[in-house]
Structure 1
Amino acid sequence: MGQIANEIASEKVHKLLLKQSIPAAIGILVMSINMIVDTIFVGQWIGVLAIAAITVVLPIGFLISSIGMAIGIGGSSVISLALGANEVEKAKRVFGNQISLTTIAAFILVLLCFLLETHVLQLFGANGEILVPAIPYFRIVIAGVPFLAYAMMGNPIIRALGKPKYAMVALILPAISNIILDILFIKVFNWGMFGAGLATSLSYAVCGIFILGFLLSPKSSLRIGFHCLKLKKKIVAEITSLGSITLVRQASVSILTIVLNYSLFKYGNESSIAIFGIINRLMMFIFFPVLGIVQGFLPIAGYNYGAELYKRVKEVLFTGIKYATVLCIITFIAIYFLNYEMTAVFTTDTTLLQQTPNAILICFFATPFIGFQLIGAAYFQAVGKAKPALVLTLLRQSIFLIPFVIVLPMFFGLDGIWYSFPISDMLAAIVTFFFLKKETQKLVV
């Protein structure tokens, strides 16, 4: 642990940021390729309704597993700060409490989903003909969600421990297994949506088991005893204080999904939901290098802030913004020239090929501003300032976007939904700028 701490505290910031970010970006890339390939397979081998069904079901699974993500990111911030202050025992107890919280929350929510299956699916937009293919996919995917919750809880901790390569492998393994199983279950065995769901669920299990296995092994500096699993009020409060940012963000994503799917069906049809399904997959794939920078940024900023090395905190902040913005500009250029080709990868359906490229261009119009906003929001989370982090995180996905998705279609129809995305991105970036400017002026170097 000493060598890792020395690197985070003293190595050149641009080199350290790349060292942390590249494995995270590769892991996110593979995971996003996994999701894209999953959508391509069901789109090409099952049909347009299958894409719509996945678009409805996956946000439900991610909402449940986001409990694990919230506990993981909140706890990893506490762990980074504790390790920066040389409080190793506290870091271990935080990890133990994270395991207990994730276990309790995930299994309760999964049980509720099984008991309220049809109501949950309809709430998230399984309207019209979408419900039929959504049900078998939902049942098997939800069964594997607890493993996904453990994976999403543990991955940020591995990065906080300065082991980005292990975090990368944790994302690569389930991606590879899912792609192989998709081909086997959908194409070879012809199991349809059940096969797609089974492949996804088993890939969640691979990821969750690998991450927990590593963190509980002798290779981990956070190897714990059973006493660490006992919930402590103070530790739970710290985890939930910072983790609530991620949880509220994911909850807002779920609310946005409900509003979006309702509006898409109202102003369009089942195909409109499938179009957004393609755009949603592209969002994660296209932004993988930027999300890698964000993930690499978090433990470095958190550790150095905890160690009161404020000059390095400023340096990593500005370096992260610079790298993220350059990547976003390159991404926008690629979208501008290749939007039709991106669509054609997913489907041969004439309607989708006609409507999706224009929707992609509109939705990604403000891409150059997104890197700044993501790094800015991540900064406040990294340094343990929950309230501003929460506000900035909610700007794009809740405070701005949801009202626009409701109002703009009244005037512009289906296109109004697509316009909501760039308008929200630009407004969020402006607000983030003022928050960040005020905060960095307070740092005493």
Structure 2
Amino acid sequence: MNQIATDITYRKILRLAWPASVAASVTPLLGAVDVWALAQSSRPLDIAAVGLGSVIFSLAYWTFGFIRMSVAGLTAQAAGAEDESEARAVLIRGGLIGGVIGLCLTALQLPIGDFAFLLLGTGSEASAATLNAGREYFEIRIWGAPFALASYAAFGWLTARGRTDFLMIASVFMTVLNIILDYWFVVGLDWGAAGVASGTLIAEIAGFFVAASLVVIVLNDHGGIKCHWNLKDIRDPLRIKRTVAINFDIFVRTLLLAFSFAWFVQRGGAFGDVTLAANQVLLQLFLFTGLALDGTAIAAETLVGQAAGARNRSLAQERYHVAVRKTFILAGIAAVGFVVFYALAGDAIIALLTPEGSIRASTKAFMPWVIISPLIVVIGFQLDGIFIGATRSKEMRDSMIISTMIFIPVSLWLAGRFDNHGLWAAFSLYFLLRAATLAIWLPRIGRSFAT
């Protein structure tokens, strides 16, 4: 046990976690930069338009987040079993799935856009100008879908190979490029929501090629680009069947998660443009917190997946328990740190991101929900990492079904009684329900290592 504990050290977990945290948190950080850029322009209410348009991509991209998750879990298990051929086959399958889905989204952009904005406009007090600007945002950014979704496979594969540093490099590159383009298009050229979309489109395309280049470097470190490729493994019917089953479960799980975020944004629109814009600012901070905490969850994905693939089951079981315990401890410390940070710096952050006036005042009124959010989301995020590494997709799916079924009616009731505070309360309860349901099923994973 001492040897195992020494193998999975806090230093090793941090080496995996901190680059993954940076990589994960730069995505909502980009959303915050979008908000800042629009606040400096002559069209600050386009913040609400980007909120509406981006929720469609959250729904679409998060729905197909199963690509990254399944590739990460299956690759980690293949690496644990020292099966390089299967590790590469997982990469190819994931990349093909992502690229094809992205092409389909691009081809179907007109009916998708019509349907999405019909739903977003139903029961909303958002103005026609806001809805039109949101539609323009969608019509520009959709062209990056094939590149964004194919990148998911590369990101999951790099994570499973323990190269979270490469994951960070690709993500930071995309974000920095997007920030530069945001400033140019939005602040300089005053393109508003269209400028935000254009910057994101270019960054997603460039990011794909950077991620692909980093994958090539890792392939060179594991036998070379030309070695270990086996077409038979890529086409193996049993492995394809397993991949499809895992992907479908995580697809349902992630679709419901993305739908819940979309529902939150849409319900916020019922309180008008100002509240919708304030919720968009706070949602970026909420996502930044959760995804920054996701670093230890990604470390758990890698360590649990490698343990699940190991041939020595006794050793694998011990490694699993050490990985779970130590990643949870680090995640809890990080969550408390974020609570303290937001409590001390919340007003300064809001002042930086919002124009003075009604949007800033509304954002401050609901900031307490963001301050407590690290403690609310940390357990669910950490459990996600464990279940992904163990490829226990069925439990992830069922947990999300239960949580969403409760969240929708509760959000209607609480928002009806307490307005936007009620909506935030229901949203927080939703994340607690996800954690509770996964915790009930966690012992199944530990028992599976004994067989």
Given the two structures, how large is their TM-score scaled by the length of structure 2?
Answer: 0.88
Between 1:120-129 and 1:404-413, the stretch displaced more is 120-129
- Is this contact kept in 2: 1:148–1:208, CA < 8 A? yes
Partner of 1:219: 220
Partner of 1:305: 308
Matched, 1:51 2:47: yes
Match of 1:29 among 22, 25, 28: 25
| Counterpart code for 1:25 | S
- Is this contact kept in 2: 1:49–1:274, CA < 8 A? yes
- Is this contact kept in 1: 2:415–2:421, CA < 8 A? yes
Matched, 1:94 2:90: yes
Matched, 1:244 2:248: yes
Partner of 2:358: 351
Partner of 1:204: 204
Partner of 1:270: 273
Q: CA deviation at 1:234?
A: 2.8
Between 1:310-319 and 1:36-45, the stretch displaced more is 36-45
Q: CA deviation at 1:41?
A: 0.5
Matched, 1:234 2:268: no
Distance 1:325 1:18 in 2: 13
- Is this contact kept in 2: 1:301–1:383, CA < 8 A? yes
Partner of 1:424: 430
- Is this contact kept in 1: 2:320–2:446, CA < 8 A? no
- Is this contact kept in 1: 2:178–2:200, CA < 8 A? yes
Match of 2:398 among 391, 395, 414: 391
For 1:4-403, what aligned pairs fall within 5 Å after superposition?
11-66=7-62, 68-125=64-121, 127-129=126-128, 130-216=130-216, 218-219=219-220, 221=222, 223=225, 227=231, 232-266=236-270, 268-307=271-310, 308=313, 309-362=316-369, 364-365=371-372, 367-393=374-400, 398-403=404-409
| Counterpart code for 2:201 | S
Taking a change above 3 Å as real, the CA distance of residues 378 and 145 of structure 1, as seen in their structure-2 partners, is same
Q: CA deviation at 1:414?
A: 2.7
Taking a change above 3 Å as real, the CA distance of residues 65 and 438 of structure 1, as seen in their structure-2 partners, is closer
- Is this contact kept in 2: 1:74–1:243, CA < 8 A? yes
Distance 2:9 2:399 in 1: 25
Taking a change above 3 Å as real, the CA distance of residues 335 and 9 of structure 1, as seen in their structure-2 partners, is closer
Taking a change above 3 Å as real, the CA distance of residues 189 and 47 of structure 1, as seen in their structure-2 partners, is closer
Distance 2:214 2:438 in 1: 36
Between 1:157-166 and 1:247-256, the stretch displaced more is 247-256
Q: CA deviation at 1:170?
A: 0.8
Pairs aligned (count): 437
Percent identical pairs in the alignment equals: 17
- Is this contact kept in 2: 1:75–1:95, CA < 8 A? yes
- Is this contact kept in 2: 1:141–1:198, CA < 8 A? yes
Q: CA deviation at 1:9?
A: 10
Partner of 1:404: 410
Given the two structures, how large is their TM-score scaled by the length of structure 1?
Answer: 0.89
Distance 2:234 2:277 in 1: 44
Spell out, residue by residue over 1:373-423, the C-alpha distance to the aligned partner (whole angstroms, 9 max, x if none): 221232122112221232345565x24433322221222223210111233
- Is this contact kept in 1: 2:144–2:205, CA < 8 A? yes
Distance 1:41 1:228 in 2: 50
Partner of 1:3: none
| Counterpart code for 2:346 | N
Taking a change above 3 Å as real, the CA distance of residues 390 and 339 of structure 1, as seen in their structure-2 partners, is same
Partner of 1:433: 439
Distance 1:284 1:229 in 2: 38
| Counterpart code for 2:290 | F
Taking a change above 3 Å as real, the CA distance of residues 438 and 75 of structure 1, as seen in their structure-2 partners, is closer
| Counterpart code for 1:343 | I
Distance 1:122 1:349 in 2: 32
Structure 2: 5+ residue runs without aligned partners?
Answer: none
Distance 1:230 1:243 in 2: 16
Q: What SS is found at the alignment partner of 2:162?
A: coil
Moved segments of 4+, more than 6 Å: 7-10
Taking a change above 3 Å as real, the CA distance of residues 357 and 71 of structure 1, as seen in their structure-2 partners, is same
| Counterpart code for 1:110 | T
Distance 2:173 2:371 in 1: 30
Q: What SS is found at the alignment partner of 1:384?
A: coil
| Counterpart code for 2:145 | V
| Counterpart code for 2:415 | P
Distance 1:72 1:384 in 2: 12
Spell out, residue by residue over 1:194-221, the C-alpha distance to the aligned partner (whole angstroms, 9 max, x if none): 2221111000011111112332455364
Distance 2:214 2:349 in 1: 37
- Is this contact kept in 2: 1:52–1:273, CA < 8 A? yes
Q: What SS is found at the alignment partner of 1:283?
A: helix
